Amino acid sequence: MLRMFNPWRRPSSVSYEKLLQPIVDALKDMPELQSKGNRPLKMSFEEQLRVLVYFHLQEHTSAKHLLQTLKEDDFARQYIAPGKGIEKSSFSEAINNRGLEQLVHVFENLQARASGMLPAAAAELGQLIGIDGSLIDGTLSMRWADYRKGSKKAKVHVGFDLNRAIPRKIYLTDGKAGERPFVSKIVSKGQTAVMDRGYQCHELFDQWQREDLSFICRIKAGTKNKIISQNAVDAGSIVFFDAIVLLGTASVNQSQTPLRLVGYEIERVEYWIATNRYDLSAEHIAQAYKLRWNIENFFAWWKRHLKVYHLIARSPYGLMVQILSGLITYLLLAIYCHQEFQERVSIVRVRQLRTKIVNELRGGPMETEDPDYGKELELQMAYAIT
């Protein structure tokens, strides 16, 4: 039977193609990638994406490491690299100048697919979007990545679906850029931004309420407040405070619109949460903020196991291409782990996948368009045994 799989038509690892299968649907209605000059493309978008996913999946540490693997490893050269190979100059030109619009299209498509497929951890809390920023160490040649004298850093601002543990939106800036302005860009009406103390700003709390945006934000324990009314607190609950207040000091930094302030204690640590979610119990507010740690775990896992912050580009365009391909790889893994194991992404499953791909490429059974391919493979294995 002919294998219907496009654009990856060469015989390959069944597991790797299964991992990439969701991209096939994502490529539909995608803007066409075109050469910006008279020269033909050295690498199509499909080839570029396949190479970038391979970079993250196999934990390559640099562009040099990746290109060396594509050139010297028999399997990467045959199944991953473009048909005619790819040189450093062509690879750099492609990463820093092409494919961003197409990557955004694929990311948004995969994100929507994963959102509709993955179960919500706490659906009763609504759409919770964790918001946080993460610094990326740059090189001194990255003049756009301003941070401090003698140091260059970029910053990604991520919106993260806390219930499903997948990324939703991303923005890239220099390292000095503030994080608070991105809340309104990342969160939409009907969603709730969940944030740490760095996002505390009484003026913005007022603004978000005027814009009808919901938020759950931890604030500093010493923040002054004026109590307007108090809600009853159950005995034995972790919650010890629940009231409608104005935050801050009058005539200095006091909020103009009342909001809800919830205080609770876990393992002798007090948490103070400012929110405009009046439909949830105080315990549910505490639960929602606890889910915020999903984005912290994501950043740590993403950096460590997909090597997203090992630079293969220096320009803002190229770095965004690199980061988006890392997000796409994570979404592919999230879909794969759910379909195969009904589990969330874990390094155990990723390592199993890596091993399975290598074993299949090194002689395991593979689907093919050639009906005689399997017979030839069986003969080769028989000769190897004898």
State yes or no: pLDDT of 379 exceeds 90.
Answer: no
Quick check: is 113 in a domain?
no
- Residues 132, 202, single domain; the answer is yes
The per-residue pLDDT for range 84-109, each reduced to its tens digit, is 888 898 899 889 999 999 999 999 99
- Domain boundaries, position 291: 122-298
Question: What residues contact 228, with CB distance under 8 A and at least 6 apart?
Answer: 243, 244, 245, 246, 258
- What are the Cα distances from residue 336, in Å, to 15, 325, 341, 362? 10, 16, 8, 22
pLDDT for the residue numbered 75? 77
Tokens of 351: 């390592």
In a domain, 305, yes or no: no
Residue 383 pLDDT greater than 70, yes or no: no
Do 292 and 353 lie in one domain? The reply is no
- Of the two residues 31 and 100, the one the predictor is more confident about is 100
| 134 plus 276 within the same structural domain | yes
What pTM did the predictor assign?
Answer: 0.87
Contact 242, 262 (CB under 8 A): yes
Residue 25 domain flag = yes
Residue 231 sits in the same domain as residue 126: yes
Most confident region among 28-32, 53-57, 61-65, 262-266 by mean pLDDT? 262-266
Tell me if 308 is assigned to some domain.
no
Kind of pairing between the strands at 191-195 and 127-137:
parallel
Most confident of 75-79, 363-367, 373-377: 75-79
* 107-133 pLDDT, tens digit each: 999 999 999 999 999 999 999 999 999
Alpha-carbon distance of 357 to 197, in angstroms, equals 43
